[in-house]
Amino acid sequence: MIQGIHHITAISGNISKNIRFYTEILGLRVIKKTVNYDSPDTWHLYFGSSAQRPGTTITFFPFPGFSRGKSGNGSVKVTAFSVGSGSMGFWMKRLREYQVSYRGPSRRFDEEYIAFEDFDGLELELVANDKDLRSGHATPGISEENAIKGFHHAELSYSSVEKTAALFTGVLFHERLQEESERLRLFSHDTLPGNFIDIVGRPSLPAQQQGAGTVHHLALNTPDEDRQQSLAEKLSKTGIFTSEVKDRQYFKSVYFREPGGTLLEIATEGPGFLVDETTETLGRHLKLPPWMESRREEIENLLPAID
């Protein structure tokens, strides 16, 4: 069983600019400051509108000095956030104030959206809608009603969409919702923002070149480890190799590459981001999982400084 997007993880270059873009400009909060558990000399930064639920968290592996990648096929091309239907004017003004150029507003599936990029060139959208009941995180300059509510959808791009669409609908509990030109919108659980996956056919677009400003993987939310296990078994039966279960402290993860090339993760909803911090202190200090705590000093010395 899948209940929408759990998180999206991308690669960034300059750490301080990465933090500035998502907190100061987009108004998300730092939910967690930790390290890449598979490579603890690299930061893993989590930004979100709420620590209480998945589906609002974009995370980054910052590699200072890493050259820019190029978005393309076989990957998540666009990460779209959801805002209230009356907020588009606010956001266009805000992006202009911060000299972030955007395209739009345009319309798709009867919703207005604008498209822009972060400082590393990661492709983002804000989609205005009146269906999203989640509340945003108010910050100085952004009221709760204008704030980003979480993800709206992830856009996956392929030269040929069939195999990926078949996996999502046949194995990953997604259903078809709408189609518009080369775009197929799927949903899991219910038809609300945060649960949409758009699969777009672009026959002539080159494959993604991974680097700063590209998505590393997309994580889908599953309620618990039993459901995660049965999904992993289902994937294995279709011939897809899945990783062992990895303990990510805030959730348990299983990774696999779908036939179209995108790295996907099935992440459990719990235990969540409040296992080692309170809501008030979220994101302030470097958090390490218990098995790395004895190496804290060494890890702190390895990590690039944050201004």
Binding site for Zn ion (CB under 5 A): 9, 219, 265
Nearer to Zn ion, 7 or 111 (CB): 7
Q: Which of 302, 119, 115, 303 is nearest to 212 (CA)?
A: 119
Distance in Å, CB of 288 to Zn ion, minimum: 17
Beta carbons within 10 angstroms of residue 158's beta carbon? 27
Nearer to Zn ion, 25 or 231 (CB): 231
Beta carbon of residue 254, minimum distance to Zn ion (angstroms, whole number): 10
Of 46 and 81, the one with the shorter C-beta distance to Zn ion is 46
Which of 158, 152, 207 is CA-nearest to residue 183?
Answer: 158
Helices (H), the chain: 15-19, 88-97, 162-170, 225-237, 296-302
Q: How far is the CB of 231 from Zn ion (least distance, A)?
A: 15
Considering beta carbons, is residue 113 or 250 the nearer one to Zn ion? 250
Determine the Cα–Cα distance for residues 150 and 5; give it in Å rounded to an integer: 10
Q: Which is nearer to Zn ion, 186 or 220 (CB)?
A: 220
Q: In whole angstroms, how close is the CB of 195 to Zn ion at the nearest point?
A: 18
What token pair was written down for 276?
């080692």
Shortest reach from residue 154's CB to Zn ion, in Å? 13
* Least separation in angstroms between CB 59 and Zn ion: 7
Pairing of strands 39-48, 29-36: antiparallel
Q: Residue 212 to residues 17, 65, 73, 117, 157: CA-CA distances in angstroms? A: 12, 9, 16, 12, 18
C-beta nearest to Zn ion: residue: 219
The identity of residue 59, as a single letter, is T
Closest CA to 307 of 97, 123, 56, 43: 43
Contact 167, 159 (CB under 8 A): no
300 sits in the region (left: phi over 0; alpha: psi -120 to 50; else beta) called: alpha
Which residue, 219 or 232, has its beta carbon nearer to Zn ion? 219
In the complex with Zn ion, which residue's Cβ is closer, 198 or 265?
265
In whole angstroms, how close is the CB of 166 to Zn ion at the nearest point? Answer: 23
